[in-house]
Structures are given as structure tokens and as C-alpha cells.
Amino acid sequence: MSLLYLATAVEKAGHKVKVFDYQIEDCSDNVKKFSGESDCIALTVMSDQIKSAVELSDIAKSMNPDIKVVWGGHHPSLFPVQTVEDKSVDFVVKGEGETAIVELLEHLEGKRKKVDVSGLAYMTSSGAKINTERSPIDINVFSPPSWHLMKMEKYIGEFSIAGRNFGRYIPVHSGRGCPHRCSFCINTTLKYRRWRPLSAENIVNEIKLLKKTYGVSFFKFVDENFFLDRERIKKFCSMLIDQKIQIKWHATCRANYFRKSWMDDNLLRLVKKSGCSVIGMGIESGSVRILELLKKDITVDDAVNAVRRCAEHDIIPVCSFMTGLPTEKKEDIRKTLNLINELKKMNGNTVVIGPQIFRPYPGCDLYELIKETIVEPTSLRGWMNAKMISGFYTPDRLKWIENPKYLITMSFFMQLAESSSSSFIIRLFKLPFKKSARFRMNHSLLGFPVEKAIFETLKKLYMKAI
Ligand code: B12
Ligand code: SF4
């Protein structure tokens, strides 16, 4: 999504842009091919993508020493100084990039001073300098995004969940930001807490375009807070119904918004009638004490009520949970596992994500609480070799947790027990492991995790083979 929105802004400003995405293709050949004829290469980077991003930056610089390398996205925004200190990075953009990248290109054309590009970080003779923070953008300006720049068929997949297949799907955005204050959430540090919606008209226009041009029938809104403005929701749903736009959709909702005082049955009926089939929500924990620590501002009763109301309206609830939180004890984890079992019993369609292990991000309240125990690499290249398991810390780095091995094993079995796949072969392969994982979770048995070792070895062999 970041590549799509950045490319949209750059194209709208009249520049030539090409997009390559390491998630769907090997980018090094393209970087070799195009670096010579390009002025700038822009990389969007999450923490566990640093190795490949550094390699690509090195290749670009070796092919064309004059090329400007700019990094943005979550990792550089969290660590702008150490990122821009790297020899292969010229600029970092902290925060939202659409207007920043265009202004940076103006700077490269000699039309603007770099000090006038807010959000930009760069090196000066006295060290790294970070310009003042950029104001949040109105995403309506970039609607519809330039999907034609992306290799769309590689992104459109089949969406299956809770044993149902919803057909061709794509992730989309209907807004940015979230006004809530959760103490672990990256949005509270990077995304500005100001919520900025796409208008109902623009959402519907984007849906119509994607449906007509690419045959998409299932839309997953991946923005932070879809249901904040009830008037917008009513308008959006009514437009889909009135214009007879037949789609199914998925969005996220805070569990407390399911209170009848917020979302009554009439509204939920309208939401369902317009095609809403799946709602994701962050329940996070079954422990009241931990929910308070998280400043989540939801209760365990909210979770139970939300899942019950989803069942009443035939909407699949996807509930995500966290663990590995500062001060969390086995007793808290047990409460989380009990709540998961209760939600699943109450609504057979409940899909569980996690419990995933908490990732501490600089700037979040919870990070501040445990920062003395966090050991982070001190240079960009240090992150290349930092041991991480798909974005998570390894046990030796989870120093704020009482029993990291127990947690990792629990998280592994829970996620395996809940996992699904659209591939029959993968489902077949996972079946015995899933069964034993479910048994373990139902009986809280976590000792001697031999299946975990076997599963991980087989998975590695499979990944090597493909
Ligand atoms: C949707 C989403 C996904 C979707 C992606 C769908 C898709 N097709 O894009 C899926 C489910 C696939 C996914 C997967 C993962 N995700 Co994710 N995901 C998100 C989520 C919720 C929204 C991201 C998004 O779409 N943002 C919208 C775009 C437009 O905004 P953006 O990415 O922030 O980009 C803007 C700015 O950052 C900036 N910018 C970004 N790049 C650049 C580059 C330049 C040069 C410039 C100038 C500016 C710039 O400008 C952009 C436009 O304003 C975020 C949380 C969040 N709310 O941000 C997590 C998040 C990005 N994911 C995260 C993680 C860890 C993962 C996984 C590793 C999880 C896992 N263990 O598997 C995987 C990695 C996948 C991979 N291929 O490597 C972390 C990243 C943390 C980090 N330290 O880097 C986040 C922040 C969640 C979290 N709170 O921990 N994810
Ligand atoms: S409600 Fe969700 S998006 Fe908003 S701050 Fe909390 S966790 Fe983040």
C-alpha cells in the first residue's frame, strides 16, 4: 500500500515512476537495470526487511554513485537517525510520504531547499538533522490511487476464512489514523492520532473501479479505524445497497463500538446488508489488568458482546490477541486463553489471530516502561543480522518477559491451531500438526514441543525446495 500511494503522488506530480515489490518479485535485477537512468530510488522498509533494503541500496549506489537513495516507512520512521547515518542512504522520510517525496524530488531538481521539506532527515557536517514534523495529509487528494502502476494480478488473491471462500480480494484503505491511545500501538507514535477519512463517495468510487477493472469482489479495509464515523458508514453502506454494488467486505472495529449505544441493530443490519462479512478486532488480552496497562479502553465484556453480536448478524469475527506484555504473568496468559476458548464456544465462526508477541516500538508508552531491557542494534546494518522471526524478537531478546520460551511455544501452538490456507496441499500437510496443537491448547499442555521442532524443520525444507 505504501508503494502504491507514493507512486500515485509521484506520478500525479508529473514524474516518471516504476514500482518493484520484493514481496512479489526479485528486485535486484531491476535495480541494476534502472539505477543508471534514475535520479532517485525510494524504499519502503519494515524492520524485518532491512537486509534486502540495504542490499538494494548498495546495488543502486554501486551502479550509479549519483543516485539519491531515500528510505521511508515504519522502520526508518522509528529510527531516522541511525538509518540516515548509513553510507548508502541519503534521505529518510519520517511519517507520511506522499507530499514529502514530491517535495524531495523538487529539491533534487533544485526547486526547493531540503530544509523546507518537513519530515525529511539527512546528514549535515554536524550530524543527522531531522526537519520539523509534517502535517497529516487528506487522502481524498490521492483517490483513486494509481493501481495501473502495480502488477495487480500478483496482488489479487482468493480470500478464504472460517471455511468460506469470498473470491478475488484486494486490500484497500478508507482512512488514516486513529484517535485512541493504546499504549502499544504504532499508530499512536507514527500515524498522527488525527483520523482522516476517505469520503463515502470516494470509497464507493474506488470499489466500483476495482470491481470493473480487475474483477475484485472482496474488499479488505486495512486502515486503523473503519467504524469511527457512523454517518460515513451509513452513507457508504446505503450507497452500496442503492447502487446495487454486489460485493463482500471486511473491516476492523473496536470491540466497544459493538455496544448498542454505539452501533445498534439497525446499523449492524445495514452494514451486513451492504456486504460486510468479516470484522477484525483487537481484543488483545483476557486479563483486565493487562487491558488497563494497554490503555485499550475496552472490557472483556465488550469482547464477549462483540463476538455475540457478530453471530447474531452472521458476520465472521476475527479476534487478535497479544502476549509477551510487560508485567504479564502466566495467570494473565491463562485468562487470555480462557477468553479465546469462550469466544470460540460462543460463536463457532470466531477466527483467532495470535496471541502474537508484543513488539515494542520507540515512542509508545509501553516501550518507555521497559526500554532499559530492550537491546536494539545501534546501526542500520546491525539490524541486518538481528535475529528476528518474521518480525518478532527471538527469546534471547525478550528480556522484559518472565518466561519467553513458554510464550513462544504457546504462541506457536495457538497460531498453528488457528491457521488456515487456501491451498489444499498446505492444509493437508498441516492437519496432524493442527490437531495436536488444538489438543495442547485445549488442555494447556506446552511441555516437550517435539511437533514444533518437526514442523519448523519440514517448513524450512519446503521453503528451500520452492
Ligand atoms: C495492512 C498491513 C499488513 C498487510 C499488508 C497488505 C498490503 N498488501 O499492503 C499484511 C497482512 C500482508 C501485513 C504483513 C506483515 N506486516 Co503489516 N501492517 C499492515 C498495517 C495494518 C497497515 C499498513 C498499510 O497498509 N499502511 C498504509 C500505507 C499507505 O501506509 P504506510 O505503510 O505507513 O506508508 C506510509 C508512510 O509510512 C510513508 N512511507 C512508507 N514507505 C515509504 C518510503 C519512502 C521512500 C517514503 C518517502 C515514505 C514512505 O508513506 C506512506 C504513505 O503515506 C500496518 C500497521 C499500520 N497501521 O501502519 C502493519 C505493519 C506495517 N506490519 C507490520 C509487520 C511486522 C508485518 C509482518 C512482518 C507480520 C508478520 N510477522 O508476518 C508482515 C510482513 C509482510 C512482508 N511481506 O514482509 C508492522 C511493521 C513494524 C516494523 N517495525 O516495521 C506494522 C507497523 C504492524 C505493527 N504494529 O507491528 N501487514
Ligand atoms: S484502537 Fe487500534 S489503531 Fe487505534 S490506537 Fe488502539 S490499537 Fe491502535
Could you state, in chain order, the average pLDDT of each consecutive group of 10 residues for the chain (466 residues)?
A: 96 96 92 94 94 96 97 96 97 96 97 96 97 93 97 93 92 95 90 88 98 97 95 98 98 97 96 98 97 97 98 97 92 92 93 90 90 88 78 74 83 84 81 90 83 88 79
Q: Map grid coordinates 543480522 to a residue.
A: 385
From 181, 186, 187, 258, give the residue whose CB has the most ligand 2 atoms within 8 Å, as the site to mutate: 187
Q: Give the separation between CA 337 and CA 345, rounded to whole angstroms.
A: 12
Classify domain 156-465 by CATH number: 3.80.30.20
H or E segment to which residue 393 belongs: strand 392-393
H-run or E-run covering 159: strand 157-161
- Answer whether 255's CB lies under 8 Å from 205's CB: no
Query: SS3 for 66?
Result: coil
- Ligand 1 neighbour 388 (Cβ under 6 A): no
Residue 334 near residue 378 (C-beta atoms within 8 A): no
Instruction: Note the pLDDT of residue 313.
Output: 97
Which residue lies with its CA nearest to atom 40 of ligand 1? 73
Distance, CA 185 to ligand 2 centroid (Å)?
6
Pocket of ligand 2 (CB under 6 A): 178, 180, 182, 185, 187-188, 224-225, 254, 282
pTM over 0.85: yes
261 CA distance to ligand 2 middle (Å): 20
Q: Kind of pairing, strands 127-130 and 120-124?
A: antiparallel
Give the ranges where 294-362 is alpha helix by DSSP (H).
300-312, 330-346
Measured between alpha carbons, how far is 439 from 264 in angstroms, rounded to an integer? 38
Position in ligand 2 atom list of the atom nearest CA 178: 4
Contact (Cβ atoms closer than 8 angstroms) between residue 307 and residue 351: no
Backbone CA torsion sign across 461, 462, 465, 466: negative
For 303: left if phi > 0, alpha if psi spans -120 to 50, otherwise beta; the answer is: alpha
Beta-carbon neighbour count of residue 5 at 10 Å?
21
Whether the CB of 75 sits within 6 Å of ligand 1: yes
Preceding peptide of 144 cis, ω within 30°: yes
Stretch(es) of the chain classified as CATH 3.80.30.20 = 156-465
Ligand 2 centroid, distance to 282 Cα (angstroms): 8
How crowded is the C-beta side of 278, counted as CA atoms within 13 Å?
A: 25
Q: Give the cell for residue 450.
A: 517435539
Distance CA 6, CA 22 (A): 16
- Per DSSP, 353 falls in state E
DSSP secondary structure, 22-88, as one string: TTTS--HHHHHHHHTT-SEEEEE--GGGHHHHHHHHHHHHHH-TT-EEEEESHHHHHSHHHHHTSTT
pLDDT score at 319 = 97
Residue-level pLDDT at 391: 62
Pairing of strands 120-124, 68-72: unpaired
Point out the ligand 1 atom lying closest to the alpha carbon of residue 49.
78
CA distance 102 to 110: 13
Q: What whole-number distance in Å separates Cα of residue 152 and Cα of residue 134?
A: 30
Q: Would you say 328 and 335 are in contact if contact means Cβ atoms under 8 Å apart?
A: no
Q: Contact, 189 vs 362, CB < 8 A?
A: yes
Return d(Cα 139, Cα 178) in angstroms, integer: 14
Pick from 363, 372, 361, 365: nearest CA to 400:
372
CA 165 to chain centroid = 22
Strands (E) across 195-288 are located at 196-197, 218-221, 248-252, 276-284
CB 102 within 8 A of CB 118: no
The CA-atom distances, in angstroms, between 344 and each of 260, 341, 347, 422, 441 are: 22, 5, 5, 21, 13
Closest ligand 1 atom number to CA of residue 1: 9
Pairing label, strands 276-284, 316-323: parallel
CA of 53 to the centre of ligand 1 (A): 15
CA of 5 to the centre of ligand 2 (A): 22
Strands 218-221 and 392-393: unpaired
Distance of CA 45 from the midpoint of ligand 1 (Å): 8
Q: 10 CB less than 6 Å from ligand 1?
A: no
Distance between start and end Cα atoms, the chain: 26
- 8 CB less than 6 Å from ligand 1? no
Q: How far apart are CA 297 and CA 44, in angstroms?
A: 32
Total number of residues shown for the chain: 466
CA dihedral for 458, 461, 463, 466, sign (positive or negative): negative
Best mutation site among 176, 224, 285, 366 for ligand 2 pocket (most ligand atoms within 8 Å of CB): 224
Kindly give the number of the ligand 2 atom that is closest to the alpha carbon of 193: 5
CATH architecture of 2-130: 3-Layer(aba) Sandwich (3.40)
- All CATH 3.40.50.280 domain ranges of the chain, comma separated, are 2-130
Ligand 2 center–CA 432 separation, angstroms: 36
* Cα–Cα distance for residue pair 412/446, rounded to 1 Å: 10
